[in-house]
Amino acid sequence: KFKGILFDLDGVLVHTDKLHYRAWKKIADECGILFNEEINNLLRGVSRMESLEIILRNYHGPALSQKEKEALAEEKNNYYKEELKSMTPDDVTVEVRETLAALKAAGIKIAIGSSSKNTKFILKRVGLDDVFDAVSDGTNITKSKPDPEVFLKAAEYIALAPEDCLVVEDAVAGIEAAKRGGMKAAGIGDAAFCEKTDYPITTFADLKDIAL
C-alpha cells in the first residue's frame, strides 16, 4: 500500500520530548517565564527559534534583541545536548526496532522527517544511524512543520512521490505538514486525536496493520 514511511523522531521513535522540556524549563526559570507541559506541547515539531518565540509569549520583561534571543536558543541547545549524552540504545524500545525491521523486510523504504538539527547525533546515540534509507532534518530545511518541506525532502531522498508515503507523527504540526505535503498521516499520542489524522494509532506496532 505504502512504498515509503516517513518517521518523525522526537515523540515517535525516541522520547527526547522530555529532554527538550527540561532544557526549555531551565531557560524559562532563569528568565522568570511561565512554562509547563501544556506550553511544551505547542513546541512539538516546531523549530528551535520558533519554539523560543512561543515561550516568550509569556515573557513580560524588557524587549529582547535578536542577538539575545539567539543566545537563549543556544543556551537551551547546550543544556539539551548535555542531556542527549545520556541516551543509549536502550532508549529505543524493542517494539520500535522490530516494527522498523518488519517494514523494511517487506520492501518499504523508511526515512526520518524531523525538525531537529540534532537528529544525526540522536540517531547515533541510540544506534539507529544505519537503519534508515534517508534522513531529512532541521539541517536541510528552511521552513519547519507545519510546512511540508521536511517530509517532501524525505520523500525525494527515497525517490518516492508524496502520495506513496505515510507519515508517522506525534505532533499536530507534523500531521498538518503531512497533509499539506499530500501524504497520509498516522498519529500517535496527542496526534491520534487530531482531526486530520488518517490513521490514529495507540502503539508503534500498529503500523504493521496499516502498512503490511
Residues that bind ligand G16 (CB under 6 A): 8-11, 20, 43-48, 51, 77, 114-118, 138, 145, 171
- Region near Mg ion per CB under 5 A, out of 23-31, 32-40, 105-113, 165-173: 165-173
> Binding site annotation covers 29?
no
Pairwise CA distance, residues 31 & 15, whole Å: 26
Under the binding rule (CB under 5 A), the answer on residue 176 touching Mg ion is: no
Specify the amino acid at residue 19: L
- Region near Mg ion per CB under 5 A, out of 2-10, 84-92, 98-106, 192-200: 2-10
CB 165: neighbour CB atoms within 10 A?
27
Under the binding rule (CB under 5 A), the answer on residue 10 touching Mg ion is: yes
Under the binding rule (CB under 5 A), the answer on residue 171 touching Mg ion is: yes
Which residues are annotated as catalytic?
A: 8, 10
Pairwise CA distance, residues 211 & 166, whole Å: 9
Pairwise CA distance, residues 186 & 170, whole Å: 9
State the nearest-atom distance from the C-beta of 190 to ligand G16, in Å.
12
Question: Residue 5: beta bridge partners?
Answer: 110, 166
Among Mg ion, ligand G16, none, partner that 20 touches (CB below 5 to 8 angstroms by kind): ligand G16
Sole binder of Mg ion in the list 158, 170, 197, 211 (CB under 5 A)? 170
**Residue of minimal Cβ distance to Mg ion:** 11
C-alpha to C-alpha distances, 180 to 1, 21, 129, nearest whole angstrom: 20, 27, 28
> Binding site annotation covers 48?
yes
> Binding site annotation covers 65?
no
> Binding site annotation covers 136?
no
Among ligand G16, Mg ion, none, partner that 114 touches (CB below 5 to 8 angstroms by kind): ligand G16
Q: In this complex, which beta carbon is closest to ligand G16, that of residue 114 or of residue 197?
A: 114
Pairwise CA distance, residues 125 & 37, whole Å: 26
State the nearest-atom distance from the C-beta of 8 to Mg ion, in Å.
4
- Which residues are documented as binding site for Mg(2+)? 8, 10, 169-170
Footprint of Mg ion (CB under 5 A): 8, 10-11, 45, 170-171
